[in-house]
Amino acid sequence: MKLTLAWMVWTVPTAIFCITIILTVIAMTIWQTVSPSMERRGFLPIPTTPGDRFFIGVLTSVYIFFAWIGLTQFALWILLLIVVCWIVVVMIWG
């Protein structure tokens, strides 16, 4: 019986996306430590903090990634641009 390991194939857009999330979480942690923020309401149906909006943006971007990969044949770099724009929209107006 041979044991084989399945390795994830990292593409440049995937690596950029993951590195960006890690750097953003670090930056938001520093930002909230220095200047804590209050909850506010935007187009999301609940009051949220910047951390909540970032989590919601990243979580929904994962669903967008799955739908994109499963339903289209377009390049991932286009998806990366769409997802980054979506997270920015949620962070600003969410």
The verdict on residue 35 lying in a domain is no
The verdict on residue 80 lying in a domain is yes
The verdict on residue 52 lying in a domain is yes
Residue 5 has pLDDT above 60, yes or no: no
pLDDT-based confidence at 1, cuts 50/70/90? low
pLDDT in tens, 53-94: 888 998 998 899 889 888 988 888 888 899 889 989 998 998
The verdict on residue 92 lying in a domain is yes
Domain interval for residue 63: 47-94
58 within 8 A of 21, measured Cβ to Cβ = yes
pLDDT-based confidence at 24, cuts 50/70/90? confident
27 within 8 A of 57, measured Cβ to Cβ = no
The whole-model pTM stands at 0.69
